[in-house]
Homo-oligomer: A and B are copies of this chain.
Amino acid sequence: MTSPLPGEDTLIALLAASLPPARHTRLTIGDDAAAIALPDGSLLLATTDLLMEDVHFRLRWGDLPALGWKALAQNLSDIAAMGGTPTHALIALALPAHWSPDDAMAVYRGLGELAAHAAVDIVGGDTIRSAGPLTISLTVLGRVLEHEMLTRRGAHPGDGLYVTGTLGRAATGLRLLETGEPVPASLAPAVRAQLRPQPRLAAARALAVSGCVTAMMDLSDGVATDLHRLCLASGVGAVVEPAQVPIDPVVEAGCRWLAAHQQSCDPLSLALQGGEDFELLFTAPFDATDTLQSRLAPLPVTRIGRITQTPEVLLQGNDTVPLPWGFTHF
């Protein structure tokens, strides 16, 4: 690779290598979720995530239910990225000393809303007083048939590189929220994308049963970072065509608003480097756009590039340049 591994990925690889080998697991650390064989031959999927105040969100944004929603959403998205259906969730919550039961209930309200929407049972939890920031840990379990499971590993040179939906909304929402200023209603979809992301559960299942997807993951850290991970896992490279990246219209509008407030903003950077859109990044035959679109409609699907043999991630242009790893929370 032309770019060094960022700290988070290096550390996770080190930590995973330090563990005793897994003895009864189909797929362990290194994908969106782990997979465990069940007695009927199907697979149990499991994933966990930690969200912490001032790392992943700020309490001054004022939307406590959104914290519960988002913690669940990003784990649901991990199950979806494997082609699976989420079924159960466990939550562990560390509450700051000054929090009231009502504050905790508000977090649970958002969690419950999305759980009901996704038909996921919240089956367990732990609640402690935090010695520091609000911390939410979610674990989500799901199911997938073995032959429908999608991982990061199957991309082949010559495959097309695709994304669902549009990109950059959540990162734009983050930029807007960080200004601390009230934003016009026209930009609310960006803020909503940041606070209450919608995991692509139905689209992921449609792709899993399509039979033509070779590798898949969800966009939690942005194309720039996640594409590196997919390419590393598959032992391939990729070339991204900037002109094909489906930048959400609210990203352009948000950038204009930010510029009017003396803040620099580049739509393509937000779309490629910005995380938390929770769209699906996947590979399939190069000419599959129409087939894929007919399966996912009305959700747009876009081919943004192609998979190559050389293990480099490049951005095509007059000068084709390496696409560096993006920002991660680590």
User: Is B23 a contact of A119 with CB atoms below 8 Å?
Assistant: yes
Q: Which residue of B lies closest to A117 (CB)?
A: B20
Which stretch from A44-52, A174-182, A231-239 is at the chain B interface? A44-52
Which stretch from A88-96, A146-154, A186-194, A302-310 is at the chain B interface? A88-96
Q: Quote the shortest CB–CB distance from A261 to chain B (angstroms).
A: 26
Please give, as numbers and ranges, the residues of chain B lying within 8 Å of A52 by CB-CB distance: 94, 128, 130-132, 135
Is there a chain B Cβ closer than 8 Å to A112's Cβ? yes
Please give, as numbers and ranges, the residues of chain B lying within 8 Å of A54 by CB-CB distance: 131
User: Is B50 a contact of A15 with CB atoms below 8 Å?
Assistant: no
Question: Quick one: given A36-B141, A90-B34, are A108 and B11 in contact (CB under 8 Å)?
Answer: no
Is there a chain B Cβ closer than 8 Å to A260's Cβ? no
Question: Quick one: given A29-B125, A40-B40, A109-B18, are A104 and B23 in contact (CB under 8 Å)?
Answer: no
List which A167-218 residues lie within 8 A (CB) of chain B: none
Main secondary structure of the interface of A (DSSP, over half): mixed
Is there a chain B Cβ closer than 8 Å to A101's Cβ? yes
Q: How many copies does the complex hold?
A: 2
User: Is A127 a contact of B88 with CB atoms below 8 Å?
Assistant: no
Is there a chain B Cβ closer than 8 Å to A53's Cβ? yes
Give the B-binding residues of A (Cβ under 8 A). Answer: 8, 10-12, 14-16, 18-20, 22-25, 28-29, 33-34, 36, 38-40, 42, 44, 46-50, 52-56, 87-88, 90-94, 101, 104-105, 108-109, 111-112, 115-116, 119, 121-133, 135, 137, 139, 141, 329-330
User: Is A126 a contact of B88 with CB atoms below 8 Å?
Assistant: no
Question: Quick one: given A122-B22, A131-B133, are A90 and B48 in contact (CB under 8 Å)?
Answer: yes
User: Is B115 a contact of A19 with CB atoms below 8 Å?
Assistant: yes
Q: Quote the shortest CB–CB distance from A36 to chain B (angstroms).
A: 6
Q: Quote the shortest CB–CB distance from A35 to chain B (angstroms).
A: 8
User: Is B18 a contact of A105 with CB atoms below 8 Å?
Assistant: yes
10 contacts between A and B (CB under 8 A): A15-B104, A18-B109, A19-B111, A19-B112, A19-B115, A20-B122, A29-B124, A46-B90, A46-B141, A47-B124
Distance A105 CA – B92 CA, assembled complex (angstroms): 23
User: Is B131 a contact of A12 with CB atoms below 8 Å?
Assistant: no
User: Is B94 a contact of A129 with CB atoms below 8 Å?
Assistant: no
9 smallest beta-carbon distances between A and B, as pairs: A132-B132, A34-B123, A137-B137, A39-B40, A22-B121, A50-B92, A54-B131, A139-B139, A48-B90
Distance A133 CA – B133 CA, assembled complex (angstroms): 8
